Structure 1
């Protein structure tokens, strides 16, 4: 569908996060766990989920899917932002995993998933599409120069 690694990755990660987030809501409610709480249900027997974590994943999924259908620059910026959010979530989970402050009910598998996906998003946003972005910026600069020339001439 697209020649841009950032757009392709945004769509792929968006689909994965949508599956995790939406399915997670069904398992997060098992046992009447709090929206923000350090306990939750298990998705596929390994991911510990509560409604707050599922909401974060679902919101990121929606943004990623919309961004992946947009421009290369937009999907790059979204990958950068989502990567940072997931890395911060992984770091939060590592710091507060076995405490009452773990309001997203993160376990080691969640932390690993968030860290790996966040790192891949961040790396792709920073390293991929450099030629595409240069070409897009050059086209924009050429268009700006033509507009300025037309306004003065």
Structure 2
């Protein structure tokens, strides 16, 4: 009997990849409009403000859009692919959060990060990692077993 790929609603990894990807895409595209309010440089340390909380510059907006593309493509793909995409983006966001917390107030802050940005990156990154490592185990086992058979 062939194992069918779980639907988006039956796979937490696929659903989260599409949800987080949509959120990052929205913030990335909106951020491009607000980034012009700050210093006009691509890697400016004083970017514009998105919703009066999130510091944005063109580099950070592009970063969010690229992560959104990864999540949306993997979310529309397979369960195993979305799990790997969630892991990758989760690790990148956690590293970005650590970077922001450690270097946010220094001249190395080339993404115009604020505390809200750092907190957002940490929360989304941890949720992506927890879902990638904890959900869809039965689905992935069944899919791999079917592929071997």
* Range into which the TM-score falls when normalised by the shorter chain: over 0.9
After TM superposition, give the deviation of residue 33 of structure 1 in Å. 2.7
TM-score under structure 2 length normalisation: 0.93
Larger radius of gyration: 1
Which structure is higher in helix share?
Answer: 1
State the distance in 1 between where 2:47 and 2:143 align: 45
- Runs of 4 or more, structure 1, over 4 Å off, are none
Which ranges in structure 2 are unaligned for 5 or more consecutive residues?
A: 1-6
Aligned to 1:88: 95
Establish whether residue 99 from structure 1 lines up as the match of residue 106 from structure 2: yes
The CA deviation string for residues 56-96 of structure 1, in whole angstroms up to 9 with x for no partner, is 00011111111110000000000000000000100000111
The alignment's C-alpha RMSD in Å is 0.9
State the distance in 2 between where 1:81 and 1:104 align: 20
Superposition map of 1:1-153 within 5 A? 2=8, 3-142=10-149
Which ranges in structure 1 are unaligned for 5 or more consecutive residues?
A: 143-153
State the distance in 1 between where 2:143 and 2:44 align: 45
TM-score under structure 1 length normalisation: 0.90
After TM superposition, give the deviation of residue 29 of structure 1 in Å. 1.3
